Copies of this chain bind each other. A is one copy, B any other.
Amino acid sequence: MYKETNIRSIAKGITWRIVATGTTMSIVYIFFGNIELAVATGILETIAKVGLYWAHEKVWQKIRWGRKKIEPFNLMFTGLPLSGKTTIADLVYDKLQKLDIPIERIDSKDIRELIPNIGYSKEERLKHIKRIAHLIQTLQKNSISTITSFVFPYKESRKIVREMVKNNIVVYVKASIEECKKRDYKGVYEKALKGEIENFTGISDVYEEPQHAEIIIDTEKIKPEEAADIIYKYIKKNYIK
């Protein structure tokens, strides 16, 4: 969030003075046909009004009326590990930042790096998601929209978020297990198949497909850039006024 500096208010006063005094001088000249008097009026007006304009700006900065609270949304990316959630979410974030709306990117990886011992059991995942929902909620109270990418494997976890936050938009990033395995440069699927990783979604833990996703992205058919474009257009149409 920003606040107006004095220098900005003064600069605004000066640019307006150029526009306004030009107009006044033209009017006086048309009426009286006297160029000297038109210029004199312009000078006098400038002296009187730069200060008045500045004072007018300052008074309005104290008035809250006519300021609309920005309506925040949450883009919730869900899908199997390696389906492409983070890639697409990052692209969408870059695009939305350009719209100058307050927005925050929350990725599973960043939080698990910060707090390594969160755990992957169903109980731990649900507790984790509840805290994420609380984070989104707190940001939304302050008009900040969010782009969240987590596996969100359970219907129950997605429901927790949907009930706690406003304007929740589920983006189901779809890819078959076979496709995810192909993209598996880190070898996590392989490890999970060998039984080295417990509760690995898609292998040793369930992924419950979302039934009511607002947006479905089939990553086997479209590229990340195209996907980002679809999501960006959806947000622009429904949430940016």
Number of copies: 2
Which residues of chain B are within 8 angstroms of A70 by Cβ–Cβ distance?
1-3
User: Which residues on the B side are within 8 Å of A67 (C-beta)?
Assistant: 2-5, 8
Interface of A is mostly: helix
Q: Which of B2, B40, B68, B100 contacts A31 (CB 8 A)?
A: B40
Selected from B3, B7, B48, the residue in CB contact (under 8 A) with A27 is B48
- Could you tell me which residues of chain A, from 32 to 89, have a CB within 8 Å of some CB in chain B? 32, 37, 40-41, 44-45, 48-49, 52-53, 56, 60, 64-70
Q: How far is the CA of A159 from the CA of B82 in the complex (A)?
A: 36
Cβ proximity bits A1-17 to B, threshold 8 Å, 1 near / 0 not: 11111011101100110
Q: Is A20 on the interface with B (CB-CB < 8 A)?
A: yes
A175 CB to closest chain B CB (Å) equals 29
Which size bracket describes the interface of A in this complex? 35 or more
A134 neighbours in B (Cβ, 8 Å): 111, 114-115, 135
Is A24 among interface residues, defined by CB-CB distance under 8 A? Answer: yes
- Expressed in whole angstroms, the minimum distance between the Cβ of A66 and any Cβ of chain B is 3
Provide the bound-state CA to CA distance between A141 and B23, in Å. 44
Asked whether, in the complex, the Cβ of B2 is within 8 Å of the Cβ of A23, the reply is: no
Which B residues lie within 8 Å of A9 (CB)? 66
Interface check A102, CB cutoff 8 A: yes
Which residues on B sit within 8 Å (CB–CB) of A16? 53, 56
A131 at the binding interface (Cβ < 8 Å) = yes
> A142 with B144: in contact, given A3-B70, A27-B45, A114-B134 (CB under 8 Å)?
yes
- A45's partner among B23, B32, B104 (CB-CB below 8 A) is B23
Contacts A/B (CB < 8 Å), 23 sampled:
A1-B69, A1-B102, A1-B142, A2-B64, A2-B143, A8-B65, A9-B66, A12-B60, A15-B56, A15-B60, A16-B53, A19-B52, A19-B56, A20-B49, A20-B53, A24-B24, A31-B37, A111-B134, A115-B130, A115-B131, A115-B134, A117-B127, A135-B135
Which A residues contact B (CB, under 8 angstroms)?
1-5, 7-9, 11-12, 15-16, 19-20, 23-24, 27-28, 31-32, 37, 40-41, 44-45, 48-49, 52-53, 56, 60, 64-70, 100, 102, 104, 106, 111, 114-115, 117, 127, 130-131, 134-135, 138-139, 141-144
